[in-house]
Amino acid sequence: MVILTFLFVAVYFGALLGWIPGSTAKQDPQTLSRIETILFVIIGYYFGRLPVAATEKTLKDEIHRQTGKAENAEQEKTTALQENQGLHEKVKNTKAALSVSIPEATPEGLAVNLSRGGSSAAPPDALRHSVLAAMRVLES
């Protein structure tokens, strides 16, 4: 495209200065006018295309940046969900370890059963082992 532009500029100046036989501005103004029009269209294309190319590059860069941000956010979301699931599993395992000391206790009523004293309370050694197991689960 650049070569074509230089070619038309050279033909235009050649016709304007009379280097092209039979096409001086005084002898054939119509040919010069046609070359002029084509030259102006080509130059106008370049002046219109350069800002568009710069804007296009800027928009592509912005799209790549936003895509990267979206991918990072998705990865962080996935990581957070995995951590959340791991924590829920730890809590579930801790409740199961604590409920071992009182076989009739369900994980939902664990706090009431462990705090209750009397004949249905767990022996201290079983309670101690359950608490140690629960601590191991929480530390893992």
State the Cα–Cα distance between residues 105 and 132, nearest whole angstrom. 18
Q: What is the spatial distance between Cα 34 and Cα 37, in angstroms, rounded to a whole number?
A: 5
Q: Where are the alpha helices (DSSP H) in 18-123?
A: 29-99, 110-115
- Could you tell me the two tokens for 85? 């699931």
pLDDT tens sequence across 37-51:
888 888 888 888 888
Q: Kind and range of the H or E element at 124? A: helix 124-139
**How many other C-beta atoms are found inside a 10 Å radius of the C-beta of residue 33?**
11
Average pLDDT, the chain: 78
Mean pLDDT of 101-125: 59
For the question of whether the overall pTM of this predicted structure is more than 0.85, the answer is no
Higher pLDDT, 95 or 71: 71
Segment 60-86, tens digit of pLDDT: 999 999 999 999 999 999 999 999 999
| Distance (Å, whole) CA 13 – CA 35 | 10
Supply 111's token pair. Answer: 């706090």
pLDDT (0 to 100) of residue 119: 46
Q: What average pLDDT does the segment 103-111 reach?
A: 58
